[in-house]
Amino acid sequence: MAQKKRRIPKVVSKRYEDEFHHQPGTIPGTIFIDEDAPPPIIFLIDYNQTNFIREQITTPEKCVPYLESESVSWVDVLGLGSQDMLQRLGKVFELHPLVLEDVVNVPERPKTEDYEDQLIFIARMVVAKERTCGFYSEQVSLILGKNYLLTVQEEPDHDCFEPVRSRIEKGKGIIRSQKADYLAYALLDAIIDGFFPVLELYGERIEELEEEVIVKPTPQTLQNIYQIRRELLQLRRAIWPQRDAINSLIRDGSDLISEDVRIYLRDCYDHTVQVMDMVETYRELSSGLMDVYLSAVSNKMNEIMKVLTIVSTIFIPLTFVAGIYGMNFNTEKSPYNMPELNWYWGYPLCWGVMGAIALSLLFFFWQRGWLQNSVPTKRD
């Protein structure tokens, strides 16, 4: 009976909400099937220099005749929603129980492991979302054999392998004349190159946020900056171990990878370094945006306080004058009790004096340069 994945409660840190953990004492090799995982769909691509076959198969056993041939067989499994199907797949390809555990129990840290007749590579693939800043992320497992390559993906809806499938079908490049190790390189290269469109979207989004932070920062701007920082951290966690895994594959080598393909893997490693540089650059820019946002909000608050201070300063002497003449001492009792109350032009004169005081203060502030940038514009 399939065991369900036990997820960490969402009250724990956000970045761990999609990860699982084994119960203490779990038998090694135990696989967990997520109840929301889609059922597996299996596609087979078999090719050599002259022939090409692409078909969907219903059971793993149907690919056995192709595995025994000299042509290159690519078995692509999309979905992890059937324990029976995955265990049968493990029997057909003679997968070690720990390998099957790493393939099924996602997410696994990207890594590479060399068995006697198989090379295992766990990778993280990202695909940019259409019309939005974001990405889909899933685990891709590559099992390389002598004449075959088995790939297992979490989801059937998003991958970046279609250009490789098209090259195989149309016979472009040298892929049809190479072995399965070159196919594994081509897929790894497609996975790494899939990071660049995602990072381009984040570069454009960061530029938009820079203008927004300077022109009109809002609380939503702060939320957007935090979201970008979290997503860039996810990208960093995905690409960093993949770089180390590819470097380990180049350094240690394998009997299943030829020297010519190892040269291509160096180019793949260079791409991972470029992705890492871009991720780190964008993380620094997003951190800088946070500082700019705080400075912009602080400056805006200072301008507001400056306007309020000027207004208050102007009204302080006016309030003093109004307060003096609001006391209404009886002039009949004493000639010193505000004789201005009986003047014919007393009221207009009082307004004139207060207006002159206000204009004098404004002129004084203007001469000192205190009125610059104090009047809010429509943009603010």
What does the pLDDT read at residue 264? 92
Cα maximum dimension of the chain: 124
Averaged pLDDT score across all residues of the chain: 82
Q: Which residue from 96, 120, 97 is spatially nearest to 31, judged by alpha carbons?
A: 97
242-282 pLDDT, tens digit each? 999 999 888 887 888 888 899 999 999 999 999 999 999 99
Evaluate whether 87 touches 115 at the Cβ level (below 8 Å): no
Which SS3 state, helix, strand or coil, does residue 43 take?
A: strand
Question: Distance (Å, rounded) from C-alpha 324 to C-alpha 377?
Answer: 37
Q: Is the pLDDT of residue 4 over 90?
A: no
What does the pLDDT read at residue 375? 47
Evaluate whether 341 touches 325 at the Cβ level (below 8 Å): yes
Question: Distance (Å, rounded) from C-alpha 330 to C-alpha 335?
Answer: 9
Model's pTM, two decimal places? Answer: 0.75
184-197 pLDDT, tens digit each? 999 999 999 999 99
Q: What is the mean pLDDT of residues 367-375?
A: 66
Q: Is the pLDDT of residue 341 over 80?
A: no
Cα–Cα distances in angstroms (integers) from residue 281 to residues 206, 220, 288, in the given order: 11, 23, 11
Q: What is the mean pLDDT of residues 210-222?
A: 84
Residue at token pair 């078999």 = 46
Which pLDDT band holds residue 29 (cuts at 50, 70, 90)? Answer: low
What does the pLDDT read at residue 297? 78
Percentages (nearest 5) of helix, strand, coil residues in the chain: 55, 15, 30
Domains of the chain by start residue, with CATH: 1-177 (3.30.460.20), 300-368 (1.20.58)
Q: Is the pLDDT of residue 26 over 60?
A: yes
Q: What angle do CA 289, 293, 296 make, to 5 degrees?
A: 135
Q: Is the pLDDT of residue 151 over 70?
A: yes
Phi, psi (rounded to 5 degrees) for 331: -75, -15
Question: Distance (Å, rounded) from C-alpha 338 to C-alpha 340?
Answer: 5
Q: Is the pLDDT of residue 140 over 90?
A: yes
Highest mean pLDDT among 9-13, 149-153, 286-290, 292-296: 149-153
